[in-house]
Chains A and B, each alone.
Chain A
Amino acid sequence: MTNALTILFCLTLMYLPVTTRLSSYVLILVFQGILVAGVYTVSFFENFSGEHLVIAGAVLLFRTILIPSYIVKIIRDLDMGHRDRTRQYHPGFLLQISGLIIAALLLSYQFSRITPVLVIPLGTALAGICSGGLLIIRRQLLLAHVIGFLIIENGLFLLGVAVKADLPWIIELGAFLDLFVLIFLMGIAINHLKSHFPEGAGEDLTTLHD
């Protein structure tokens, strides 16, 4: 069951390179949020407790409702052209992502030999982290960077599941809070950016360099 969900997660990753529409990114986020919550609940089904429920709920709340809606709000406020400047269709990007996923799975397989881990979730998690980074590297739009960051966060969460590292629930919640505050601040920053950089709003910033 877990594996099925994580495979789905991989598929969402595969969708990243082929779209540049912010709205579809948001959708991906929502979907991933659901998947992650699902994986979490399932993976802890055997010794199920209130804590897990709370965390799963928090995951759902943050990742599928609060954050996506907030990002949609930003998009509305800035009414930025819904698409990234970069080309719509990226064969190279697609190949990289798929290669990444395969590599991640192989790696996690190798890894599972030396230490007990769930192969597929781990691979997916690694793939998620890396492809999030790749998205940031590939896309110019700052919101796309935020999206990439959130995808990395999802991957991280999966990783936690994969290595069965159960932090105290209070810490998990704290982490969610942090995440949310962070996104909130980023939103404010982007808003200010709009006022400072009227033209090409939210493009990558490169004025500070040596």
Chain B
Amino acid sequence: MILTTLFLLGLPLLSTGLTAWSISLEKNYFATLAAATGHLVATLYLLLSRQNPFPAGAWFGIDSLGSYFLLILSHTYFAVVLYSPGFLQRMDKPEYQASRRLYYPALNSYLLASTLVVVTQNFGLLWVVIELTTFSLVPMIYFYRSKESLEAVWKYLFLVSLGLVFLLIGVLALGVAAKGVGEHASLILTDLVRDAAQLDPLWVKISFVLALVGISAKIGLAPMHPADIDATSNAPGPVAALMAGSLRSTALLVLLRFYEVACNTSVRAFSQGLLMIAGAFSILVAAVYIWRSRDYKRLLAYSSVEHLGIVTLASGVGGVAMLGAMLHALFNSFGKIALFFMAGRINRDLQTREIDSVHGLMQRLPWSGFVFGLAFFYIMGTPPFGLFFSELLILRGMVHARNWTVLGCFLLLMMIIFIGMGRAVLRMLQSPGSVGPPAGKPRERFHIAHAVSFYALAVSVPIAILRPDFLFGPLRSILAEFRFTL
């Protein structure tokens, strides 16, 4: 057990130190890879063994929700690390020197911070460590050292931190609510859930609202999403994948923690409604900008706003939809890996982010184009990919809740987004362009990025169809923790 914690926290810490100290990219890569592997192994072990390595009631602990999000984090991180050397070797311009130097330390510290977020059970401490994740990734958003990326960094840093201030107020409010418990009041999740009956519903309500507003900027829920869009679309491929795939999910976890508390009190219905509103609004905003978007990286950023919105909406609906939401978060992270990797490569080769100036991707970059197209169908929820099943579950939840208005809006927005995104992506793939690579450039070869993306897209199928128990066991107990029934 102690070993597990060591793998989860010690290894990232160690590799952070190492990479910060050593300057050789190869060594750093292997250190990072080792950390990532260890982390993944530990995560899988936790999922399989289904036990909490930390003492009960401690500030740290891993419940089923935690272990599940740990998987999202660890898996995405692993994929990103695999892709990193291939990415870095292309970034050989002198002005990238400093960024390359910082790359691995930043990654490792991000892993450390995110793991802390996942395993922390104390809301106060949670606030402290969630701020750390922001700091760890900021230098990487600024990788290209360009005006745009700097502006993105500034906005992201400022708005996210501003949001987190409100999150802290939310934590305080939760503390006040906990006063009702008596002298052994604490901010530890398990205690709060246990004594949910004595919590002051008024303050729980306030804390939930503040938490939602505060963390939205980090999850990328409208209307707090703008900074997120800028950051994701200006960060290099792997970092963007990390943000869209893992950072946002981790932030979502924080929201879910508050939601878990709220779900066990009398403000359950209210919090569900609020989540539905926030989610639906995010999908709407995403639809607004996906309908006619000019920049494909921003398009992808909006798409992740959309999917996080779906997850939020679905967790608000509850029941089967909650199960769907959890799966959706996982599968979305898979898809985002492929999409952002490919977007990065396309951007590098074509030197443009304008959708209108991308032509004949299929001929120009056969592999990247193909994977990009595949990932597009994936993200649109085409069977047999995973998102199809998770969306089906979400729809089931809505039907079960007899929530026709939500269902109708959801389907309408899905359709709009489908049309908008389809127009853009299919145009990029199919519109006639230079047949074959431009003179001087060799035909694109199969790259590890393609392998990773393929794997990420493919692995969703067996998970969705076979429903392995090591994943669905935790999922069921998550639903139990939220007092949802299938």
Top 8 A-B pairs ranked by shortest CB distance? A174-B128, A171-B124, A165-B175, A165-B172, A205-B151, A178-B131, A208-B230, A196-B147
In the bound assembly, the distance between CA atoms of A52 and B187 in angstroms comes to 19
Is the C-beta of B461 less than 8 angstroms from some C-beta in chain A? no
Interface size, chain A (Cβ < 8 Å): 36
Please determine whether B153 and A189 come into contact, CB atoms closer than 8 angstroms. Answer: yes
Please determine whether B147 and A197 come into contact, CB atoms closer than 8 angstroms. Answer: yes
A189 in contact with B162 given A171-B124, A208-B234 (CB within 8 Å): no
Please determine whether A175 and B128 come into contact, CB atoms closer than 8 angstroms. Answer: yes
Point out the residue from A129, A142, A165, A175 that lies within 8 Å of B154, measured CB to CB: A142
In the bound assembly, the distance between CA atoms of A177 and B128 in angstroms comes to 9
A-B contact count (CB 8 A): 91
* Interface of A (DSSP majority class): helix
Please determine whether A189 and B150 come into contact, CB atoms closer than 8 angstroms. Answer: yes
Please encode chain B, from 124 to 135, with 1 for each CB lying within 8 Å of some chain A CB and 0 for all others: 110110011001
In the bound assembly, the distance between CA atoms of A115 and B179 in angstroms comes to 12
Q: Please give, as numbers and ranges, the residues of chain A lying within 8 Å of B298 by CB-CB distance.
A: 210
Q: Please give, as numbers and ranges, the residues of chain B lying within 8 Å of A165 by CB-CB distance.
A: 172-173, 175-176
Is the C-beta of A159 less than 8 angstroms from some C-beta in chain B? yes
Please determine whether A156 and B151 come into contact, CB atoms closer than 8 angstroms. Answer: no
Please determine whether A205 and B155 come into contact, CB atoms closer than 8 angstroms. Answer: yes
Is the C-beta of B471 less than 8 angstroms from some C-beta in chain A? no
Please determine whether A208 and B148 come into contact, CB atoms closer than 8 angstroms. Answer: yes
Please determine whether B289 and A210 come into contact, CB atoms closer than 8 angstroms. Answer: yes
Q: Please give, as numbers and ranges, the residues of chain A lying within 8 Å of B176 by CB-CB distance.
A: 115, 163-165
Point out the residue from A175, A186, A197 that lies within 8 Å of B127, measured CB to CB: A175
Please determine whether B203 and A115 come into contact, CB atoms closer than 8 angstroms. Answer: yes
Residues in chain A within 8 A of chain B (CB atoms): 114-115, 129, 142, 145, 149, 152-153, 156, 159-160, 163-168, 171, 174-175, 177-178, 181-182, 185-186, 189-190, 192-193, 196-197, 205, 207-208, 210
Please determine whether A114 and B202 come into contact, CB atoms closer than 8 angstroms. Answer: yes
Is the C-beta of B158 less than 8 angstroms from some C-beta in chain A? yes
Q: How many of chain B's residues touch chain A, expressed as a range? A: 35 or more
Please encode chain B, from 151 to 176, with 1 for each CB lying within 8 Å of some chain A CB and 0 for all others: 11111011001100100110111011
A182 in contact with B131 given A171-B124, A205-B155 (CB within 8 Å): yes
A175 in contact with B168 given A145-B158, A149-B161, A185-B157 (CB within 8 Å): yes
Q: Please give, as numbers and ranges, the residues of chain A lying within 8 Å of B169 by CB-CB distance.
A: 156, 159
Please encode chain B, from 285 to 313, with 1 for each CB lying within 8 Å of some chain A CB and 0 for all others: 00001000110001000000000000000
Distance from B395 Cβ to chain A, minimum over Cβ atoms (Å)? 30
A167-B187, A185-B157, A208-B155 are known; give 6 further A-B pairs, CB within 8 A: A149-B162, A167-B124, A178-B132, A192-B142, A197-B147, A208-B152
In the bound assembly, the distance between CA atoms of A8 and B171 in angstroms comes to 27
In the bound assembly, the distance between CA atoms of A182 and B298 in angstroms comes to 26
Distance from B20 Cβ to chain A, minimum over Cβ atoms (Å)? 16
Please determine whether A207 and B124 come into contact, CB atoms closer than 8 angstroms. Answer: no
In the bound assembly, the distance between CA atoms of A145 and B230 in angstroms comes to 19
- CB under 8 Å from chain A, chain B span 165-216: 165, 168-169, 171-173, 175-176, 179, 187, 200, 202-203
Distance from B212 Cβ to chain A, minimum over Cβ atoms (Å)? 17
Query: Chain A: which residue is nearest B288 at the CB level?
Result: A210
In the bound assembly, the distance between CA atoms of A56 and B138 in angstroms comes to 30
A186 in contact with B151 given A115-B200, A164-B176, A171-B124 (CB within 8 Å): no
